[in-house]
Amino acid sequence: MPHDCKGRLIEVGDVVRGTGYNLKHQITGAVVGVTPGAEACNVSIATIIANNQHYTEYGTAVEFEIMQKKDGTIPE
């Protein structure tokens, strides 16, 4: 399973921060999918654009840091 830059397991529903494949700035969002046995994960980012659309950014797990677990706890 994918792990973040600090070696913590990333799960669907975790809130992560980092950079994706195509972005040069920090993004924050909830993980909507992980690939078992791989380092890839998908991060869904809510953008503030017309119609309040959601945008999905793709990145490898090690590019992200877990900010909050899906159960609401903040990892140490």
The predicted model scores a pTM of 0.80
Tell me whether strands 40-46 and 27-34 are parallel, antiparallel or unpaired: antiparallel
Q: Parse the chain into domains and list their residue ranges.
A: 15-68
Q: Torsion-angle region of residue 32: left (phi > 0), alpha (psi -120 to 50) or beta?
A: alpha
**Bigger pLDDT: 15 vs 40:** 15
Per-residue pLDDT of 35-57, as tens digits, reads 877 777 777 766 555 566 667 77
Per-residue pLDDT of 30-39, as tens digits, reads 888 888 777 7
